Homo-oligomer: A and B are copies of this chain.
Amino acid sequence: MILELNFKSGRPAYLQIVEQIKFGVAMGRLKTGAQLPSIRELAEQLRINRNTVAKAYGELEHEGVVETIQGKGVFVKSGGTQLAKGARESNVAAALDAAIVQAHHMRIGKEELKRILDERLEAFEERKEGRS
């Protein structure tokens, strides 16, 4: 699994790591029990400070996505969110609402919005395939 950071995005580096690893787990690219790169290793690879990686791993452990075993390493734990279906859907709905409001202000109509969604979904598909 290869991580990539976008330093210009304004999104905190540690959050980008957290999200990409959660994404990998959700995608099935990182299976339960798989070992993550060591803090030192990942920090070197991404050319960032070890503290930043440590913070990301700490966050992941806090969320129950990974498990650290002292002296052994960091491993993928279970299998994703445990929220009920309804709660999961409403989280997604909230994100879509934001997109709809944004589209309104950008004077982009319903059909065009759907078209863009299709485009972005395809872009994500490609990234997924390209990396697996």
- Which residues of A are in contact with B by a Cβ distance under 8 Å? 7-8, 10, 12, 19, 22-23, 25-27, 62-63, 65, 67-70, 72, 80-89, 91-93, 95-108, 110, 113-114, 116-117, 119-121, 124
Q: Which of B91, B92, B105 contacts A80 (CB 8 A)?
A: B105
The verdict on A104 contacting B70 (CB below 8 Å), with A82-B84, A96-B117, A99-B99 known, is: no
A-side interface mostly: helix
Q: How many copies does the complex hold?
A: 4
The verdict on A105 contacting B117 (CB below 8 Å), with A70-B12, A99-B95 known, is: no
Complex CA distance for A102 and B82, rounded to whole angstroms: 14
Chain B, Cβ-Cβ closest to A62: B62
